[in-house]
C-alpha cells in the first residue's frame, strides 16, 4: 500500500506558523514519509535547531485527528525503555490560527524524535526481519503498561463483530470462504466476551496495531534493532496479543504463515492455545465485518487491507478449530 501525503508547503499558513512557533525556528527543509494509513502530513522537518518528525490531521480528517489525539496522551506516558521514538510535544491548532475553543475546527499536531531507519523487507519478506519483528512484538509485551486510564484493559470493551456477523448474516459474507458463514455460531462462541476477558487479561503493554509498517529497523544488518511507532491504540493486556495480532497481516501481504512464524519465535511461556484461538476469532470477525463497511473519509484503501487480513485470519482460524 502506498500513499502520497501532503508536505510542508501544503499546510495552511496558520498551521505552519503555529508549528514553527513551537519549534522556535523556521522550517528550512522537509522529507515526507509517504505510506501508512492516515491521510495527513508525516514529515521530518529541519530547522536550525535540528530535525523533528511531525505529523498532522486536519479538521476534516476526523478519524485521523481522533487517533492523533489519543496517541499524544499515550505516547507521553510510554516507558523510557520501550523501543520507540521519544514523544516531544503536541498542539491543537485552530484552523484559522486563532484561539482554540470547543466550537473552533482545529488541527492535531504531534512531534517526535526523528528516527533514521529502514522499512521491514517485505518484497520478498526477509526471514531475519520476520524474526526481528516477532522478537520486537514480544519485547513490547515485556513492559508493564503504565498506570492510569490512558491504557484501558484490552478486554474492557470486548469486540462484538463475531456476534454481529452471526446475528445479521450480511450479504457480503458470500464473497468469503463458505467456511466462515457455516461456522459463525462457533466463532461467536470462541470470541464471546467472557472468553475475551479470560484470554486477553494482563498487565502488559499492548501496541494493539503491531504490523511491519509500524516498525523501523535501525543499525547495521549484522546488529539490527527495531523501533515501534504509532501508539494511538495502546492498551493493557496479555503479553502474546501483539505477536498473534501481527501474523494475519504478514501472511496476507506475502509473508510466512502464522504457524511458520511461531515455529521460529514461540509465544510467551504459558500462553494457552484457547487464548490464541479467541484472539484469531476476534481478528477474523473484526476484519471481515470491517471490510464490508463503507470506507472512512480519506482512507479508501482500508477496506481492502481489512479484506486480505480477514482472509488470512479465517484460514488460520480453520487450523486452530479443527
**How would you write the pLDDT of the chain (322 residues) with one tens digit per residue?**
445 789 999 999 999 999 999 999 999 999 998 766 668 999 999 999 999 999 999 999 988 999 999 999 999 999 999 999 999 999 999 987 666 555 678 999 999 999 999 999 999 999 999 999 999 999 999 999 999 999 999 988 899 999 999 999 999 999 999 999 999 999 999 999 999 999 999 999 999 999 999 999 998 888 999 999 999 999 999 999 999 999 999 999 999 999 999 999 999 999 999 999 999 999 999 999 999 999 887 677 889 999 999 999 999 999 999 8
pLDDT of residue 1: 45
The residue range of the domain holding 93 is 8-115
CATH number of the structural domain spanning residue 50: 3.30.200.20
The domain boundary residue, chosen from 59, 93, 115:
115
| End-to-end Cα, the chain, rounded Å | 33
CATH number of the structural domain spanning residue 221: 3.90.1200
Tell whether 110 and 131 lie within a shared domain.
no
Tell whether 68 and 148 lie within a shared domain.
no
DSSP code string of 285-303: HHHHHHHTSPPPTT-TTHH
pLDDT of residue 138: 98
The domain boundary residue, chosen from 92, 115, 138:
115
Percentages (nearest 5) of helix, strand, coil residues in the chain: 45, 15, 40
pLDDT of residue 39: 80
Tell whether 134 and 274 lie within a shared domain.
yes
Tell whether 43 and 192 lie within a shared domain.
no
Count of other CB atoms within 10 angstroms of residue 47: 16
Contact (CB, 8 A) for 218 and 226: yes
Task: Tell me whether strands 50-57 and 87-94 are parallel, antiparallel or unpaired.
Answer: unpaired
pLDDT of residue 102: 57
Tell whether 270 and 227 lie within a shared domain.
yes
What's the number of domains the chain is made of? 2
Tell whether 223 and 150 lie within a shared domain.
yes
In a domain, 22, yes or no: yes
Burial class (CB in 10 A: 0-12, 13-18, 19+), 88: middle
pLDDT of residue 2: 47
In a domain, 2, yes or no: no
Tell whether 21 and 60 lie within a shared domain.
yes
Burial class (CB in 10 A: 0-12, 13-18, 19+), 173: middle
pTM for the model stands at 0.92
Q: What contacts 250, CB < 8 A, 6 or more positions away?
A: 125, 130, 133, 211, 212, 256, 258, 261
Tell whether 96 and 151 lie within a shared domain.
no
In a domain, 3, yes or no: no
Tell whether 105 and 12 lie within a shared domain.
yes
Amino acid at each position: 500500500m502506498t500513499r502520497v501525503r501532503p508536505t510542508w508547503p501544503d499546510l495552511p499558513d496558520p498551521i505552519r506558523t503555529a508549528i514553527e512557533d513551537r519549534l522556535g525556528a523556521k522550517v528550512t527543509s522537509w522529507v515526507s514519509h509517504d505510506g501508512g494509513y492516515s491521510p495527513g502530513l508525516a514529515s521530518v522537518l529541519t530547522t536550525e535547531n535540528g530535525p523533528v518528525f511531525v505529523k498532522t490531521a486536519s479538521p476534516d480528517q476526523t478519524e485521523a485527528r481522533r487517533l492523533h489525539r489519543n496517541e499524544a496522551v499515550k505516547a507521553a506516558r510510554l516507558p523510557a525503555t520501550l523501543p520507540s521514538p521519544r514523544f516531544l510535544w503536541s498542539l491543537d491548532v485552530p484552523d484559522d490560527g486563532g484561539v482554540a475553543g470547543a466550537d473552533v475546527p482545529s488541527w492535531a499536531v504531534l512531534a517526535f524524535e526523528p528516527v533514521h531507519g529502514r522499512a521491514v523487507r517485505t518484497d520478498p519478506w526477509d526471514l531475519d526481519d520476520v524474526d526481528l519483528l516477532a522478537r520486537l512484538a514480544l519485547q513490547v509485551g515485556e513492559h508493564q503498561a503504565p498506570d492510569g486510564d490512558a491504557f484501558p484493559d484490552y478486554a474492557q470493551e470486548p469486540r462484538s463483530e463475531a456476534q454481529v456477523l452471526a446475528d445479521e448474516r450480511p450479504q457480503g459474507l458470500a464473497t468469503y470462504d463458505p467456511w466462515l458463514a457455516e461456522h459463525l455460531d462457533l466463532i461467536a462462541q470462541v470470541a464471546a466476551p467472557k472468553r475475551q476477558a479470560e484470554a486477553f487479561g494482563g498487565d502488559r503493554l499492548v501496541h494493539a496495531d503491531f504490523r511491519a509498517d509500524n516498525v523501523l529497523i535501525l543499525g547495521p544488518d549484522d546488529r539490527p534493532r527495531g523501533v515501534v511507532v504509532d501508539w494511538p491504540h495502546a492498551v493493557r493486556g496479555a503479553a502474546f496479543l501483539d505477536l498473534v495480532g501481527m501474523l494475519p497481516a504478514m501472511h496476507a501481504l506475502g509473508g510466512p504463515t502464522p504457524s511458520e512464524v511461531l515455529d521460529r519465535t514461540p509465544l510467551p511461556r504459558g500462553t494457552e492455545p484457547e487464548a490464541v484461538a479467541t484472539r484469531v476469532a476476534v481478528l477474523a470477525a473484526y476484519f471481515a465485518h470491517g471490510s464490508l463497511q463503507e470506507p472512512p473519509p480519506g482512507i479508501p484503501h482500508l477496506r481492502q487491507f481489512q479484506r486480505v487480513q480477514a482472509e488470512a485470519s479465517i484460514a488460520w482460524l480453520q487450523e486452530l478449530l479443527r
